[in-house]
Structure 1
Amino acid sequence: MWRARRPHRWRRALVAALVTSAVVFPLSAAAQPRIPAPPPARTGPVTAATLDEVYAAHRATAARASRMAEAHGDRHRAEAERALAQPSRRLLSFDGRGQGRAVEVFGDLAHAERVAVLVPGSDTSLDTYGRLRTSAVALHRRLTAETPPGTRTAVVAWLGYSTPGTVSTAVLTTGRADEGAAGLREFLRTLHGVTGPGTAVALLCHSYGSVVCARAAEGAVVDDVVLLGSPGTGAADVAELRTRARVWAARGADDWVADVPHVRADLFGTTVGLGTDPVSPAFGARVFAAGPGGHSDYFVPGSPSLANLARIVLGSEVRHG
């Protein structure tokens, strides 16, 4: 059951305090022991004909990474990687080093006419990858239920960059997003090499992932860019994204990101803040209804946001906010 939004005045003050703390007193986590992992599998060109070989190669690397993490004593990472190594998983890429990266396919990518790429936000790593996968599975099921006869769809969970921590200086700047954007553009080129030029692609970008998508939008061959629970994109408006794609935005009524100050300022030589609120008229996106959910509820089965996301991917009529 959806929660009704309650006017928590303290929440704005708390978020402001967290932002101030992240800027003025950066959090330096204790050094974590590095988890040993093999280098990513080397594969040839990724095409429709080689997909099964690519999937198998990355599953094998995930299995090896799991054994190494287990021997290192990190059972949580070992379990996450062991799950990715299961025969049913379709991995377009996998890297167990550091935070870890993985790109997973749901559906028949080689024959898909419409593809959704989910780009996650802060605090997403191999250790928390299950949350991104749950969202991708929910969307794929919704698309499967609503796809018109004869139309094929696929969903890609793209953990292709090192995400920042939710409470950190990195989450207040575009630095991690710039790195992620380069990887996302490269992935989109690979994707079109698999599916062909006629496939419609929608980027569904959550939280800090919306900053990644905004930085990648210029020159990217995509049909839709969707900003979900976005703290800002680093751009003043849609025009600054320099994209021909339709740009959408939504925010649940109980999403705490509404309390994040939408500003950009120079602080100690660094530009801090992510600018204009993407659901504001000043930004110029196509705002659609997301319902009463919170920051992690955009892909909850049965939610208004998931229904509208499926409509965007399928090119159907969307309920606007």
Structure 2
Amino acid sequence: MRTARWGRGGLMVAVAAAVVLSVTAGARSAAGAPVPPRLPAVQAGTLQERYAANRGYIAESERAARRIGDRDRERHLRQLNAPGRNFLSFSPHGDGQAVEVLGDLTDAHRVVVLVPGSDATVDTFDFLGSHQASLGGGARALYAELNRLSHAPVAVVAWYGYRAPRTMSTDVATTARAEEGGGRLATLLGELRDANSRATVTFLCHSYGSVVCGEAVSRMTFRTASGLDGIAVFGSPGMGVRSLSELPVRIPVWAGRGAGDWIAHAPHVSVSVLGETLGFGTDPVSASFGATSFDAGTGGHSGYLVPGSLPLRNLALIGLGRGAEVSHG
């Protein structure tokens, strides 16, 4: 989720332009797109088959983008199809979807799911203003830090599995996209259990992604939340609740915000307007919310996963279940 200063008229024009561009991109990428492959259920013995099927699907989608002259999409898909990359899920339609796995899911002791905020698309998967601000780049920095801190095998799931809103759109102020994504994220937790029932899972949720994580947990029961060891939200506008006591399950929740993050000035409200919920509730770093704070450093909204940074170290320690070593904000 990024920001800029706009007057009211400029904001309306920008929102309209964003909607038009999104619709246009979706129409272009859907034209002549290949038929999605039949994927087996996510299980320990089917992962390689899913990876191979999605690798072929990405390659076919790259060729389809070339045929229709969508050079930007072609270039981004070529990056996704680089040797050694593994995708649990993929779609080229519209803004696309992509769920990348770093490490061996079946062997990992800990699995960390990185949930992105607004402006995540297939085209920004590896670069969103900078490499570390993108989902793919942040996931790689996180995976390297986890391996630096742990001798036990780990895995990272870079989860662009929902229709993330654009920053300059009306969707970014409502919970609609998060409600849809929350169901999908809850489903992913069950799939990860099927792939490796021994691993513990942590959700790391950035910006609007923290609203998605809040929605996911709101749908869980003690049984369906099995294996979820904790959640960390950072650069968060809220989790869609007034406090952690409103969540149906008790899971450790951490919250951090960089000193230079503009989202500190976002209004923390939640109101219902014509069937839509606007705003995301209490500030997660406030004492009344009930989360455990962690030191997120002095950086801005896109600076949490910078290699060598304090917030990256703390998020990795949370992902490893080593909360006693996390520095507090």
Give me the TM-score of the superposition, normalised by structure 2: 0.87
Letter in structure 1 aligned against 2:29:
I
For structure 1, the residue ranges without an aligned partner over 5 or more in a row are 1-11
CA contact (8 A) 1:96 1:126 kept: yes
- Once the two structures are superposed, what CA deviation does each residue of 1:236-275 show, in whole Å capped at 9, x if it has no partner? 0111122222111110000010011111234455331111
Q: Secondary structure at the match of 2:90?
A: strand
Q: Does 1:303 align with 2:314?
A: no
Q: Secondary structure at the match of 2:213?
A: helix
CA contact (8 A) 1:223 1:244 kept: no
Q: Does 1:64 align with 2:60?
A: yes
Q: 1:214 aligns to what?
A: 214
Match of 1:260 among 256, 261, 266: 266
Bigger Cα displacement from structure 2, 26-35 vs 228-237: 26-35
Q: 1:9 aligns to what?
A: none
Give the deviation of 1:41 after TM superposition. Answer: 2.0
Match of 1:44 among 28, 40, 48: 40
Q: 1:318 aligns to what?
A: 326
For structure 2, the residue ranges without an aligned partner over 5 or more in a row are 127-133
Bigger Cα displacement from structure 2, 160-169 vs 240-249: 240-249
CA contact (8 A) 1:39 1:95 kept: no
Q: Sequence identity, in percent?
A: 48
Q: Are residues 111 and 269 of structure 1, via their aligned partners in 2, closer, same or farther at CA, if it must alter by over 3 Å?
A: closer
Matches within 5 A, 1:196-275: 196=197, 198-218=198-218, 219=220, 220-221=225-226, 222-268=228-274, 270-275=276-281
Question: RMSD of the alignment, in Å?
Answer: 2.2
Task: Find the aligned partners of 2:43 and 2:244 in 1 and give their Cα distance.
Answer: 33
Task: Find the aligned partners of 2:156 and 2:178 in 1 and give their Cα distance.
Answer: 22
- Once the two structures are superposed, what CA deviation does each residue of 1:82-119 show, in whole Å capped at 9, x if it has no partner? 22223311111111111100111111111001010000
Q: Does 1:87 align with 2:90?
A: no
Match of 2:289 among 283, 287, 311: 283
Q: Secondary structure at the match of 1:223?
A: strand
- How many residues align? The count is 305
Give the deviation of 1:72 after TM superposition. Answer: 1.2
Bigger Cα displacement from structure 2, 263-272 vs 208-217: 263-272
Q: Does 1:54 align with 2:50?
A: yes
Matches within 5 A, 1:127-138: 127-130=123-126, 131-138=134-141
Give the deviation of 1:25 after TM superposition. Answer: 9.8
Letter in structure 2 aligned against 1:139:
L
Letter in structure 1 aligned against 2:328:
H
Q: Does 1:140 align with 2:143?
A: yes
Bigger Cα displacement from structure 2, 78-87 vs 100-109: 78-87
Q: Secondary structure at the match of 1:225?
A: strand
Task: Find the aligned partners of 1:45 and 1:265 in 2 and give their Cα distance.
Answer: 39
Q: Are residues 304 and 25 of structure 1, via their aligned partners in 2, closer, same or farther at CA, if it must alter by over 3 Å?
A: closer
Task: Find the aligned partners of 2:76 and 2:106 in 1 and give their Cα distance.
Answer: 26
Q: Secondary structure at the match of 1:49?
A: coil
Task: Find the aligned partners of 1:21 and 1:127 in 2 and give their Cα distance.
Answer: 23
Letter in structure 2 aligned against 1:319:
S
Q: Are residues 267 and 49 of structure 1, via their aligned partners in 2, closer, same or farther at CA, if it must alter by over 3 Å?
A: closer
- Once the two structures are superposed, what CA deviation does each residue of 1:53-102 show, in whole Å capped at 9, x if it has no partner? 11111000000001101111111111111222233111111111111001
Q: Secondary structure at the match of 2:28?
A: coil
Q: 1:5 aligns to what?
A: none
Match of 1:35 among 6, 19, 29: 29
Give me the TM-score of the superposition, normalised by structure 1: 0.89
Task: Find the aligned partners of 1:67 and 1:182 in 2 and give their Cα distance.
Answer: 32
CA contact (8 A) 1:92 1:105 kept: yes
Task: Find the aligned partners of 1:210 and 1:103 in 2 and give their Cα distance.
Answer: 17
Task: Find the aligned partners of 2:311 and 2:14 in 1 and give their Cα distance.
Answer: 36
Q: 2:130 aligns to what?
A: none
Letter in structure 1 aligned against 2:16:
L
Q: Are residues 39 and 251 of structure 1, via their aligned partners in 2, closer, same or farther at CA, if it must alter by over 3 Å?
A: farther
CA contact (8 A) 2:210 2:239 kept: yes
Give the deviation of 1:225 after TM superposition. Answer: 0.9
Give the deviation of 1:21 after TM superposition. Answer: 5.0
